[in-house]
Amino acid sequence: MPELPEVETIAVGLRRRAVGLRIDEIRLLWPKLLRGAAADLRRLRGKRILDIRRRGKMLLVSCEGDLHLLFHLKMTGQFHWTERAVPTDKHTRLRIAFRGGGPELRFRDVRKFGVLRILATPRPLEAAPLRALGPEPLAVSGPEIARLLARRKGRLKSLLLNQAFLAGIGNIYADEILHAAGLHPLRTSSSLTTSEARRLASSVAKILNAAVEAGGSSIRDYKDADGVDGSFQSRHRVYGRKGEPCLRCGAPVERRVIGGRSSFFCPKCQK
Ligand SMILES: [Zn+2]
């Protein structure tokens, strides 16, 4: 599933091309993508796109009239630009055509877990479901993350995946962050020493910044909005590397299911 670095990369690419365009028509090819009334989509006709940004793992497309398209890409959601005349393939769920011709933006989703909501509000970040999200991990300081950790209970892996704790971290980056911090995924937040909490907080920023810089991780289907793969997967130190040597100490990386999710970690250097 695209996490913070992937969705950020998509948002940057879409922003570059779509801001300023005026929506001509939105065609929904898979009705279940939209949670809400189809009539809401028609309200976007003729509206100009003002901004596109990421919040957590979601993508917010803000238009004139306080109308917003909020996408959650889930497992396999992708955007791509294509000429209007090009026939849609069977996985295309939504088409957005713009005034003045030019390519249209299509949303493709093989697994069909993607979700689209229309928000009609001047303050979308304060509306459901965005208001339930915790802070952006790259917008809060290390000491602030350490303070948030001290207020929480539970296992570090589950906590990092909890979108109400920090928004945008999923399975890949949780494992990479814990490895960088030298902390075992089953450790609890209350067991952390001050220096361990600080190490975890700085690993959050270090890993996510490096992944954003690399355009995200391309495993399975992820591509950015211009069809380009990310490159951070080549720098994964534990994720997907079961049995391979830890890049820090050489011990074989272990995989264990924690909270229903695969977790990869080094049993030797993650304490
Ligand atoms: Zn190790």
Which residue(s) pair with 54 in the sheet? 59
Q: How far is the CA of 54 from the centre of ligand 1 (A)?
A: 33
- Look up 2 and say whether it is catalytic: yes
Q: Check 112, 198, 261, 268 and give the catalytic one.
A: 261
Count the Cβ atoms, other than its own, within 10 Å of residue 169.
26
pLDDT (tens place) for every residue of the chain, 271 residues total: 899 999 999 999 999 999 999 999 999 999 999 998 888 899 999 999 999 999 999 999 999 999 999 999 999 999 999 999 999 999 999 999 999 989 999 999 999 999 999 999 999 999 999 999 999 999 999 899 989 998 998 999 999 999 999 999 999 999 999 999 999 999 999 999 999 999 999 999 999 999 999 999 987 678 888 888 898 988 999 999 999 999 999 999 999 999 889 999 999 999 9
Q: How far is the CA of 263 from the centre of ligand 1 (A)?
A: 14
User: How many Å apart are CA 138 and CA 231, to the nearest integer?
Assistant: 20
Spatial contact of 177 and 239, defined as CB atoms under 8 Å apart: no
Give the DSSP letter string of 96-108.
EEETTS-PEEEEE
Q: Check 54, 57, 106, 108 and give the catalytic one.
A: 57
Look up the pTM and report it. Answer: 0.95
Comma-separated ranges of CATH 3.20.190.10 domains in the chain: 4-132
- Look up 57 and say whether it is catalytic: yes
Sheet strands side by side (includes 67-72)? 49-55, 58-63, 67-72, 115-120
Does the domain at 4-132 match CATH 3.90.1150.10? Answer given as no
Nearest CA-CA partner of 9 in 65, 67, 52? 52
Q: How far is the CA of 148 from the centre of ligand 1 (A)?
A: 27
Matching residue, tokens 């830890």: 246
Q: How far is the CA of 38 from the centre of ligand 1 (A)?
A: 52
CATH of 142-265, one of 1.10.10.10, 1.10.3720.10, 3.40.47.10, 1.10.8.50: 1.10.8.50
Instruction: Give phi and psi for 162, each to the nearest 5.
Output: -75, 110
